[in-house]
């Protein structure tokens, strides 16, 4: 028997996983992370330190299979959408809104014909959860140019672009390990993966940062016997060979190890194929080209007899390159049991509790703790700055209504870019002195007082008209800003104000001084 380990992977920065290893032409990005990428992470950390025999066992024998990392949303994992699912062209597939699918809108045309005059359309992209959520990867595209090493400027005619998976997305992958692999070796493998990792292309730039954690609670897929009908849902690409050792993209019973007399039901199957040449970054060269049946394909076979439990268990993986995640299949899965899918309640995974550090008082621990605290503080500053900007925008809208301007317009005397910049400079200068900051911004003493600060930016008397802009009968814009700052923690008040001013300076709607400037 075998054991399966499950891990979650969260992207901390954009990640480039190219569909092709070609160096010319535009680059498309996969909407998942292939098992070969995760194998490479483990190999980069273990290969050189292990004896050759153990390295071969982990990375070349096929006894350890690194599965593809597939999208996860709200703790629920997904699988490649099956190509047998169709919907009526021109009609919606969602129950109310994305991403919840409407099961009644989906059907398998080989088992349920559409109404007369209706045209079926195949769903070819995305990943589906057991509860019917259709997850689609979020992708970015960035245009770049090579740099001339001699001049330090952009190189001529060397413009290129990268499509990448955006940061913040979560994925789930599994590692299936046969019983022949020693438990201590499995533990080393697990420890090599957990923690920060670098993935994909351009790792030396700003791409590829991710974090891996072990998880539990993922439901195990149990092969189900369905008498003399076998339905295989490819969860990853499938690479088969014919009797001569050549690639074949037509599935046969013999290539899959099915009993003699089994027949492929072409009219009930749905397949797509592709060809690609993977690039091995360790060797700096290409591997052999692969012709595969694409993930998501559905293969249906008629059998001369029902399969035994041992035969069903052996069918979970088939074909070549299993160590890299290829050949993983779901056998008679519940989602494909009927012509129309039946979705179940959502089942979420659980992240394993992190193990305590062996040296809690070490220098490394303190550095990491300080960085973690800084990240949390930066997040709070960003959140408070957004609230402050919203409060200022609301005050300006109130000022517009007070003078009778129509909805969507601001008064003429709103603060200009230079005025926000002046406030920002003061906020930066006194970011750690909240009392001094308030004094420099809002001093409201008597005009002839000895303590009168004539340079206070938002002073009520003899100040600039923008800060005396009336919000209502009793309040000005300066009053509004002063009140909004009071609810912000004193230790971050200056940083929040500086960031808010930066946001306001970049908002053209709030830096126009013409009468009736449009909001």
pLDDT at 310 over 50: yes
Read off the pTM: 0.64
**In this structure, are 32 and 57 located in the same domain?**
yes
Is residue 343, in this structure, part of any structural domain at all? Answer: no
Reduce the DSSP state of residue 329 to 3 states and report it: strand
- Predicted confidence (pLDDT) per residue in 138-162, tens digit: 888 878 788 888 887 888 777 778 8
**In this structure, are 275 and 313 located in the same domain?**
yes
**In this structure, are 488 and 448 located in the same domain?**
yes
Cα dihedral 303, 306, 311, 316 sign: positive
**Per-residue pLDDT at 346:** 66
Whether 109 contacts 86, CB under 8 Å = yes
pLDDT at 282 over 80: no
Q: How many domains does the chain have?
A: 3
Domain that holds residue 282: 229-332
**In this structure, are 211 and 252 located in the same domain?**
no
Is residue 155, in this structure, part of any structural domain at all? Answer: yes
**In this structure, are 434 and 514 located in the same domain?**
yes
**What number of residues does the chain have?**
519
> Cβ neighbours of residue 340 under 8 Å, at least 6 residues apart?
103, 104, 106, 107, 108, 112
> Cβ neighbours of residue 64 under 8 Å, at least 6 residues apart?
57, 58, 175, 176, 177, 178, 181, 189, 323
Is residue 104, in this structure, part of any structural domain at all? Answer: no
**In this structure, are 406 and 502 located in the same domain?**
yes
Q: DSSP letter string over 203-263?
A: TTTT--EEEEEEEE-PPPP-----TTEEEEEESS-B-EE-TTS-EE-S--TTTTTPPTT-E
The residue among 181, 216, 251 that closes a domain is 216
Q: Which of 219-233, 299-313, 332-346 has the lowest mean pLDDT?
A: 219-233
- Predicted confidence (pLDDT) per residue in 2-33, tens digit: 889 999 999 998 998 888 766 566 678 899 99
- Reading the block at residue 166, the tokens are 């955006």
The residue among 332, 349, 376 that closes a domain is 332
**In this structure, are 385 and 453 located in the same domain?**
yes
**In this structure, are 420 and 371 located in the same domain?**
yes
**Per-residue pLDDT at 509:** 63
**In this structure, are 260 and 163 located in the same domain?**
no
**Per-residue pLDDT at 81:** 95
Is residue 92, in this structure, part of any structural domain at all? Answer: no
Q: What CATH number should be reported for the domain holding residue 278?
A: 3.30.70.1900
**In this structure, are 394 and 303 located in the same domain?**
no
Is residue 326, in this structure, part of any structural domain at all? Answer: yes
Residue 86 binned pLDDT confidence (cut-offs 50, 70, 90) = very high
- Separation CA 269–CA 261 (nearest Å): 18
Q: Which of 125-129, 138-142, 347-351, 410-414 has the lowest mean pLDDT?
A: 347-351
Omega before 99 within 30 of 0, i.e. cis: yes
Is residue 463, in this structure, part of any structural domain at all? Answer: yes
- Predicted confidence (pLDDT) per residue in 225-277, tens digit: 667 889 999 999 999 999 888 999 999 999 998 999 999 999 999 999 999 88
The residue among 288, 312, 332 that closes a domain is 332
Is residue 84, in this structure, part of any structural domain at all? Answer: no
CA angle 292, 298, 302 (to 5 degrees): 110
Q: Which of 197-211, 323-337, 363-377 has the lowest mean pLDDT?
A: 363-377
**In this structure, are 47 and 162 located in the same domain?**
yes
pLDDT at 126 over 60: yes
Whether 340 contacts 106, CB under 8 Å = yes
Is residue 337, in this structure, part of any structural domain at all? Answer: no
**In this structure, are 210 and 235 located in the same domain?**
no
pLDDT at 453 over 70: no
Reduce the DSSP state of residue 189 to 3 states and report it: helix
Q: What CATH number should be reported for the domain holding residue 122?
A: 3.30.70
Query: Is the model more confident about 412 or about 242?
Result: 242
**Per-residue pLDDT at 276:** 87
């Amino acid at each position: 028997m075998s054991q399966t380990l499950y891990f979650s992977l969260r992207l901390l920065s954009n990640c480039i996983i190219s569909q092709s290893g070609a160096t010319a032409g535009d680059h498309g990005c996969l909407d998942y992370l292939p098992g070969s990428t995760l194998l490479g992470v483990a190999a980069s950390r273990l290969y050189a330190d292990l004896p050759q025999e153990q390295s071969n066992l982990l990375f070349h024998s096929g006894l350890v299979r690194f599965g593809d990392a597939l999208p996860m949303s709200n703790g629920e994992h997904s699988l490649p959408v099956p190509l047998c699912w169709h919907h009526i062209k021109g009609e919606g597939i969602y129950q109310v809104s994305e991403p919840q699918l409407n099961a009644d809108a989906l059907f398998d045309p080989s088992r349920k014909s559409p109404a007369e005059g209706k045209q079926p359309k195949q769903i070819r992209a995305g990943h589906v959860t057991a509860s019917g959520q259709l997850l689609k990867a979020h992708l970015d595209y960035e245009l770049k140019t090579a740099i001339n090493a001699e001049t330090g400027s952009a190189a001529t005619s060397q413009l290129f672009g990268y499509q990448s998976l955006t940061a913040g997305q979560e994925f789930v992958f599994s590692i299936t390990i046969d019983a022949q692999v020693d438990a201590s070796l499995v533990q080393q493998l697990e420890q090599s993966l957990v923690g920060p990792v670098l993935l994909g292309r351009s790792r030396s730039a700003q791409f590829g940062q991710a974090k891996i954690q072990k998880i539990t609670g993922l439901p195990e897929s149990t092969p189900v016997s369905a008498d003399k009908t076998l339905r295989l849902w490819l969860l990853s690409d499938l690479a088969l060979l014919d009797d001569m050792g050549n690639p074949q993209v037509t599935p046969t019973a013999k290539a899959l190890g099915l009993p003699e007399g089994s027949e492929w039901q072409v009219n009930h199957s749905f397949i797509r194929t592709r060809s690609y040449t993977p690039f091995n970054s360790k060797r700096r060269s290409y591997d052999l080209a692969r012709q595969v049946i694409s993930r998501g394909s559905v293969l249906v076979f008629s059998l001369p007899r029902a399969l035994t439990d041992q035969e069903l268990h052996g069918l979970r993986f088939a074909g070549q390159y299993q160590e890299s995640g290829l050949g993983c299949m779901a056998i008679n899965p519940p989602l494909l049991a009927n012509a129309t899918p039946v979705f179940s309640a959502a089942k979420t995974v659980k992240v394993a509790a992190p193990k305590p550090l062996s040296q809690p008082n070490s220098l490394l621990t303190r550095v990491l703790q300080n960085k973690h605290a800084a990240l949390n503080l930066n997040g709070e500053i960003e959140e408070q700055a957004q609230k402050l900007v919203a409060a200022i925008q609301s005050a300006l809208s109130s000022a517009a209504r007070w003078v009778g301007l129509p909805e969507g317009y601001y008064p003429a005397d709103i603060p200009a870019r230079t005025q926000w910049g002046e406030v920002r400079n003061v906020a930066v200068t006194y970011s750690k002195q909240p009392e001094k900051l308030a004094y420099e911004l809002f001093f409201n003493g008597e005009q002839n007082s000895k303590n009168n600060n004539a340079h206070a930016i938002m002073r009520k008397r003899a100040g600039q008209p923008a800060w005396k802009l009336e919000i209502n009968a009793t309040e000005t814009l300066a009053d509004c800003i002063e009140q909004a700052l009071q609810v912000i923690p004193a230790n971050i008040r200056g940083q929040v104000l500086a960031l808010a001013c930066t946001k306001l300076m970049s908002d053209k709607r709030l830096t126009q001084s013409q009468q009736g400037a449009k909001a």
